[in-house]
């Protein structure tokens, strides 16, 4: 990411905004999964739910980086 690609950044902004909304949903799911795993540690599905939530939290950054790397200008 040494060179500046403003067009890729600008095109990716609407998609990053949608990904930001998904990341907020992921934060809520992560909190609920953490609470459920603390209440009942035998629930293995809560750890999978927490992993899904963490990937949702990282989504806006991944989307912007993908657009910046994809647009060649």
> Quick one: pLDDT at residue 30?
79
pLDDT digits (tens, 9 = 90+) for 6-42: 777 777 778 878 878 888 887 888 788 778 777 776 7
> Quick one: pLDDT at residue 43?
66
For residues 50 and 47, what is the distance between their CA atoms, to the nearest angstrom? 5
Residues 6+ apart with CB under 8 A from 29: 49, 50, 52, 53, 56
Q: Which of 48-68 are b and which e, b meaning 16 or more Cβ less than 10 Å from the residue's Cβ?
A: ebbeebeebbebbeebbeebb
Query: How much is the average pLDDT of 42-70?
Result: 76
Residues 6+ apart with CB under 8 A from 34: 46, 50
């Amino acid at each position: 990411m040494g060179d500046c690609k403003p067009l890729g950044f600008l095109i990716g902004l609407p998609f990053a905004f949608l990904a930001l909304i998904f990341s907020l949903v992921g934060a809520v799911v992560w909190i609920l999964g953490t609470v459920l795993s603390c209440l009942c540690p035998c629930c293995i599905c809560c750890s999978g739910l927490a992993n899904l939530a963490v990937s949702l939290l990282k989504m806006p950054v991944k989307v912007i980086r993908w657009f910046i790397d994809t647009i060649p200008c």
